[in-house]
């Protein structure tokens, strides 16, 4: 640790204090808050090279086009360290904001996500969105068998197969792929977005699945505030989103069970139940 702190001090100056800000249960990243005389910074250590490269690219190529994300100040490819500036605000998920504040937060979240999706990229993936989704289904469905009844797996699979023909029309855009309140900071005026380790080019609805399956199904007013910032979806997009969210729920249940994250697994089950009840 002392070696990497010395490395960070070459960029940000003398570090006076450190604290561990890592998420519990997520063992493949470590996050440390570094205090200096000039302000606070964050040091992130990855253990998975794919996640490291995804986050590094997102900061270098995409986040620089936004005004409300951390700045990547330095990186160490061999050890997979990222040194970033701190942005102001409190985590939205962990704080009790007023209803008025939440409407403003979700409105800004919609605008922020729209700006993110509008960043132009060159898609070098040899697979189309449709082909990639087929590949995901082939990997996800068998993993769910130990955790879900076959009737539930069949229900999700049928929903997924319904949208496959339409996915050929989508182009990839920059996607955060963990766009929820746990990765938003709000300072009473501006919303900021953090944690880009899951980011990669994908079809834009992938960034809406978690919100659609949870807060948007519970609070229609919040949903309206979000889409006032993002822009309304077409009826076809909504139908695709409902079905892709069911696949997200199935994958979440499987992943969370495999990683012994009971809270996240239960969240996935709740989303799946809501979708089934409203289909």
pLDDT in tens, 51-99: 999 999 999 999 999 989 999 999 999 999 999 999 999 999 988 999 9
Listed in order, the ranges of the chain carrying CATH 3.90.1200.10 are 90-278
Determine the pLDDT at residue 212. 96
Provide the 8-state DSSP code for 18: E
Considering the domain 2-85, what is its CATH architecture?
2-Layer Sandwich (3.30)
Determine the pLDDT at residue 94. 84
Determine the pLDDT at residue 95. 87
Kindly give, in sequence order, each residue whose CB lies less than 8 Å from that of residue 133, ignoring residues fewer than 6 positions away. Answer: 160, 164, 167
Instruction: Look at residue 259 and tell me whether its pLDDT is greater than 90.
Output: no
Q: Give the whole-angstrom CA distance, residue 204 versus residue 197.
A: 17
Determine the pLDDT at residue 85. 97
Q: For residue range 123-167, what is the model confidence (pLDDT) as tens digits?
A: 989 999 999 999 999 999 999 999 999 999 999 999 999 999 999
Determine the pLDDT at residue 130. 95
Residues 13-32 as b/e (b if ≥16 CB within 10 A, e otherwise) read eebeeeeeeeeeeeeebbbb
Considering the domain 90-278, what is its CATH architecture?
Alpha-Beta Complex (3.90)
Q: Can you tell me which residue has the tokens 């319904």?
A: 162
Question: What mean pLDDT, rounded, does the chain reach?
Answer: 94
- Confidence band (pLDDT; 50, 70, 90) for 26? low
Listed in order, the ranges of the chain carrying CATH 3.30.200.20 are 2-85
Q: By percentage, how much of the chain surpasses pLDDT 90?
A: 90
Instruction: Look at residue 23 and tell me whether its pLDDT is greater than 90.
Output: no
pTM greater than 0.75: yes
- Confidence band (pLDDT; 50, 70, 90) for 1? confident
Q: For residue range 182-234, what is the model confidence (pLDDT) as tens digits?
A: 999 999 999 999 999 999 999 999 999 999 999 999 999 999 999 999 999 99
Tell me the average pLDDT across 14-28.
85
What are the residues facing 192 on neighbouring strands?
A: 185
Residues 92-103 as b/e (b if ≥16 CB within 10 A, e otherwise) read beeeeeeeeebb
Determine the pLDDT at residue 59. 97
Kindly list the distances between the CA atom of residue 70 and the CA atoms of 37, 57, 107, 157, in Å, as whole numbers in the listed order.
19, 13, 20, 38
- Confidence band (pLDDT; 50, 70, 90) for 25? low
Instruction: Look at residue 27 and tell me whether its pLDDT is greater than 90.
Output: no
């Amino acid at each position: 640790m002392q070696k990497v702190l010395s490395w960070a001090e070459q960029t940000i100056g003398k570090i006076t204090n450190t604290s561990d800000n890592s998420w519990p249960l997520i063992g493949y990243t470590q996050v440390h808050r570094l205090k200096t005389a000039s302000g606070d910074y964050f040091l992130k250590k990855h253990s998975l090279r794919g996640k490291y490269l995804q986050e590094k690219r997102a900061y270098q190529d995409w986040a620089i086009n936004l005004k409300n994300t951390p700045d990547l100040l330095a990186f160490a490819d061999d050890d997979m360290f990222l040194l970033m500036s701190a942005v102001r605000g409190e985590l939205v998920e962990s704080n009790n904001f007023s209803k008025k504040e939440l409407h403003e937060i979700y409105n800004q979240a919609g605008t922020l996500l729209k700006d993110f999706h509008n960043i132009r990229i060159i898609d070098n993936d040899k697979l189309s969105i449709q082909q990639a989704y087929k590949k995901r289904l082939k990997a996800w469905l068998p993993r769910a068998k130990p955790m879900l009844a076959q009737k539930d797996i069949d229900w999700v699979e049928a929903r997924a197969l319904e949208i496959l023909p339409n996915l050929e029309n989508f182009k990839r855009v920059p996607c955060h792929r963990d766009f929820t309140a746990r990765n938003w900071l709000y300072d009473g005026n501006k919303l900021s977005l953090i944690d880009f380790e899951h980011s990669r080019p994908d079809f834009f609805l992938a960034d809406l699945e978690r919100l659609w399956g949870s807060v948007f199904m519970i609070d229609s007013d919040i949903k309206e505030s979000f889409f006032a910032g993002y822009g309304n979806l077409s009826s076809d997009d909504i139908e695709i989103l409902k079905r892709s969210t069911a696949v997200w729920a199935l994958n979440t249940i499987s992943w969370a069970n495999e990683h012994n994250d009971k809270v996240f697994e239960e969240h996935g089950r709740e989303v799946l139940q809501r979708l089934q009840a409203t289909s």
